[in-house]
Amino acid sequence: MQRHLVLRVTTKLLMPFILLFALYVQFHGDFGPGGGFQAGMIFGAGFILYALVYGIDSAKRVAPAGALRVLISAGLLLYIGVGYAGLALGGNFLDYGVFSAQAPKGQHLGIFLVELGVGVTVAATMVTVFFNFAGRGRD
Amino acid sequence: MIAAHLPALQIVVPLVSAPLCLLLRRGDLAWALALAASWAALGCAALLLQQVLSTGPISYQLGGWAPPWGIEYRIDVVNGFVLLIVAAIGAVVLPYARVSIAHELPEDQHAAFYTALMLCLTGLLGVTITGDAFNLFVFLEISSLSSYVLIALGRDRRALTAAFQYLVMGTIGATFIVIGVGLLYMATGTLNMLDLAERLPPMAESRTVLAAFAFLTVGAGLKLALFPLHFWLPNAYAYAPSVVTAFLAATATKVSIYILLRFFFTVFGTAYSLELVTLENLLIPLGVAAILVCSTVAIFQTNVKRMLAYSSVAQVGYMVLGIGFASTTGLTAGLVHLFNHAMTKGGLFLALGCMVLRLGSVQLDSLAGLGRRMPLTMFAFVVGGLSLIGVPLTAGFISKWVLVQAALEQGNWFVAGVVLVGSLLAIVYVWRVIEAAYFRPAPGGDPAAPNAAAPGGEIVEAPLSMLIPTWILIGASIYFGIHTSLTLGVAERAARFLLGGGA
Amino acid sequence: MDALGLYNYWIAIVLMMTGFYVVVSRGNLVKKIVGLNIFQTSVFILYISMSKVSGGTAPILAEGFETYSNPLPHVLILTAIVVGVATTALGCALVVRINEAYGTVEEDEIQSQDQEA
């Protein structure tokens, strides 16, 4: 990919926009198409684009395999933690209404955290899957 | 406080152990966590069944939203029974897994193995406990995807193709189920199973409901290895790691039969399934074919795991036969065979796993003379084989007895005869293993066979951590053949509940 | 009735059968995965097309709109899409490992290799 200057420069220019758009999609799931899964995929796609153009080793410097493993578990644990918090505060499992005095505010908070967990897990999983596929045959 | 939230905890405790197992890199720490989670799940299941037997069905609203708008976990006698089976098998298999997996899988895959096993357990428990049709599909896919991973971890490279074949067929089955659920939603506007049961009778004549019924039957049939759709099962069970085979053989098909029961009798209702669609004409011939064809094919197998896999398809045929009769006795037979077969097959595959540990393979020839060198393991296999045949004093006898009773109640002498012929065929294939183990001389200390323990190539008895779970399951198949009040009593209550309405 | 008015169901069925045919008839494992994807996509179209309410707008609360399309099937399909992605990823991982173990991804060559062994 050394000689494909257009690809390299364009990727470098686009990366921040891709990641920013992923964050936008993540947090605007209530008001437009979006949410955790879609945002996680866009985020992962950004990293995969970078790895395709600049090589897996450069991408692994930013997102090492161990950190990704922790992120996969952390996202899922955040989701389940929100569920348990609902239990601890007196409601049923995954009841968000108990998080605040006014039920809609509690539900906003609950959905926000849950979608964040989903987005983190999905992004980390996508990047891990790509690294595992593309990294085979090297060792 | 915990008692009120048992239904949610039943699912969440195994679910939370999965990412925690992934975080712990060391295999034995992951095993300890998985063990604790599976025992906690067994405790929850036992408490739930006790509660249901004394006070009636339990309903739990997930997220605090009332059904039919929210997802509801609903536990009645039927799924309390199946929950107990799945959780018990999970709890018994985990102590066994430590040595078995250490022998069959490379070190760096252990934590991932326990993660996948816990996800599979969560999925199976979720399918059983949920009262929402789409939620059932989601949990079914969680359990299926993790079981594809578990099967692909086998040592033989054919495990990969077996997992792929299972993936293709299983995904088609699950997609059929989701099409069926979508058609039901289109017709009624709800996904909650009880609400569907209320709204379906007025539109029983419409084509949408008939198409939904067809899709759901074929989809569930693919998952439970109903006779012509069983082709994924022998390869998947033969090449997977021993723990995985035992776990899946004892739980996955049982849960799919539960899906069939739930949709046939609770959602669509007995009136629709029996009178309109005449279920018996479909299930009884397929059950008979499964028993005769697969027992015969099992006789000609040289790989004992493959032989028991074909035997599993035949036993599923027995259960489907019981369901096809759709009488109280027939459903009781099907449900009690669910329990008995889970115990028996689980125990048999665990015994085979002990043999794999010492011998490295389960080809019929390598089992020669094993009766003398691994006496406890072989005796467990013999007792399990007797239960498979249906010898009196074993659990297998009870289920076959009730099945023959159900057939005779309806005057169906042919099917009663088929059940007996099935037992005769089972005698043949169980005898092949017994003959190889007890009546053939051992090949004098084969030093080329890879085994785990003695470096000198000696074949000794399996370690206690593997023998005890095997004997727990085999002992259960004898205990429940003698003291039938628990299993038959609960199964009969469940059958009455499905057919009539009382709890 | 107007069979042409039900064109969404026709499209769903054509896609479903196409996907199913590819899974059954093609021997290349990667093509089977693609067929499975087409099969699952037909289900998505079936669900989403049934959720449209004539005259309804997108199911997002906004000022000035009275009729909304049914949001529930959209949520169901998001879940089903995730399941489909996971299945595809798992299938592709299996194909990569099968290719490494057998040297081919054609089903008949794999079967003949297994039968020789």
- Residue B454 pLDDT greater than 60, yes or no: no
> Does the model's pTM come out above 0.90?
yes
- Residue B364 pLDDT greater than 90, yes or no: no
Local structure of B206: helix, strand or coil? coil
**Can you name the residues that pair with B130 across neighbouring β-strands?**
B73
Q: Are residues B499 and B265 in contact, defined by beta-carbon separation less than 8 angstroms?
A: yes
DSSP B420: H
Q: Identify which of B152, B7, B155 has the alpha carbon closest to the alpha carbon of residue B72.
A: B7
B379-438 residue pLDDT tens: 999 999 999 998 888 888 989 999 999 999 888 889 999 999 999 999 999 998 888 888
B29 contact A CB<8A: no
- Residue B503 pLDDT greater than 50, yes or no: no
State how far the Cα of A11 lies from the Cα of B201, in Å rounded to an integer. Answer: 59
**How many other β-carbons are positioned within 10 Å of the β-carbon of residue A30?**
14
**pLDDT-derived band at B444, boundaries 50, 70, 90:** low
B134 contact C CB<8A: yes
Q: Are residues B23 and A70 in contact, defined by beta-carbon separation less than 8 angstroms?
A: yes
Q: Which parts of chain C sit beneath pLDDT 50?
A: none
Q: Are residues B264 and B323 in contact, defined by beta-carbon separation less than 8 angstroms?
A: yes
C81, C89, C96 member nearest A136 (Cβ): C96
Cα-only R_g, chain B: 22
- Can you give the three-state secondary structure of B291-350, one letter per residue? HHHHHHHHHCCCEHHHHHHHHHHHHHHHHHHHHHHCCHHHHHHHHHHHHHHHHHHHHHHH
CB within 8 Å: A94 and B63: yes
Domain ranges of chain A: 5-134
Burial classification of residue B275, based on how many CB atoms lie within 10 Å of its CB (0-12 exposed, 13-18 middle, 19 or more buried): exposed
State how far the Cα of B1 lies from the Cα of A87, in Å rounded to an integer. Answer: 9
User: What integer pLDDT is reported at residue B452 of this predicted model?
Assistant: 45
Local structure of A76: helix, strand or coil? helix
State how far the Cα of B395 lies from the Cα of B347, in Å rounded to an integer. Answer: 13
Residue carrying structure tokens 């069925």: C13
State how far the Cα of B455 lies from the Cα of B449, in Å rounded to an integer. Answer: 11
Cis peptide before B57 (omega within 30 of 0): no
Q: Identify which of B116, A3, B82, A5 has the alpha carbon closest to the alpha carbon of residue C93.
A: B116
The share of chain B scoring above pLDDT 90, in percent, equals: 54
Looking at CA atoms only, how far is residue C8 from chain B in angstroms? 14
State how far the Cα of B5 lies from the Cα of B10, in Å rounded to an integer. Answer: 9
A80, A84, A95 member nearest B64 (Cβ): A95
Residue of B nearest to C102 (CA): B157
CB crowding C64-77: b at 16 or more within 10 Å, else e: eeeeebbebbeebb
B302-353 residue pLDDT tens: 899 999 999 999 999 999 988 888 888 989 999 999 999 999 999 999 999 9
DSSP A33: S
Tokens matching residue A3: 């000689």
SS3 content of chain C, % helix, strand, coil (to 5): 75, 5, 20
Q: How many helices (H) and strands (E) are present in chain B, helices listed first?
A: 20, 2
User: What integer pLDDT is reported at residue B458 of this predicted model?
Assistant: 63
For residue A115, CA distances in Å to A26, A108, B271 come to 7, 11, 43
Chain B interface test: which of C17, C76, C100 (most B C-beta within 10 Å): C76
- Chain C contacts of A31, Cβ < 8 Å? 60
Tokens matching residue B260: 């069939």
Nearby residues of A104 by Cβ (< 8 Å), 6 or more positions away: none
- Residue B446 pLDDT greater than 80, yes or no: no
Mean pLDDT for all residues in chain B: 88
Chain B interface test: which of A68, A73, A107 (most B C-beta within 10 Å): A73
Instruction: Put residue C55 in one of left, alpha, beta given phi > 0 → left and psi -120 to 50 → alpha.
Output: left
B20-79 residue pLDDT tens: 999 988 888 999 999 999 999 999 999 999 999 999 888 988 887 888 788 899 999 998
DSSP B462: P
State how far the Cα of C10 lies from the Cα of C8, in Å rounded to an integer. Answer: 5
Looking at CA atoms only, how far is residue B1 from chain A in angstroms? 9
Torsion, Cα of B464, B467, B468, B471 (10° steps): -160
Instruction: Put residue C41 in one of left, alpha, beta given phi > 0 → left and psi -120 to 50 → alpha.
Output: alpha
Tokens matching residue C13: 């069925």
Instruction: Identify the architecture of domain C3-53+66-116 in CATH.
Output: Orthogonal Bundle (1.10)
Domain ranges of chain C: 3-53+66-116
Query: ipTM of this model?
Result: 0.94
In single-letter form, the type of residue at position C11 comes to I
Q: Spell out the per-residue pLDDT of chain A, length 139, in tens.
A: 567 899 999 999 999 999 999 999 999 887 888 889 999 999 999 999 999 999 889 999 988 989 999 999 999 999 999 998 888 888 788 888 888 888 788 888 888 999 999 999 999 999 999 999 888 866 5
CB within 8 Å: C89 and A129: yes
Q: What is the phi/psi pair of residue B129, to 5°?
A: -90, -20
Q: Are residues B121 and B41 in contact, defined by beta-carbon separation less than 8 angstroms?
A: yes
Domain ranges of chain B: 1-275, 278-503
State how far the Cα of B265 lies from the Cα of B196, in Å rounded to an integer. Answer: 12
Q: Are residues B454 and B359 in contact, defined by beta-carbon separation less than 8 angstroms?
A: no
Q: Identify which of B154, B197, B193, B166 has the alpha carbon closest to the alpha carbon of residue B72.
A: B193
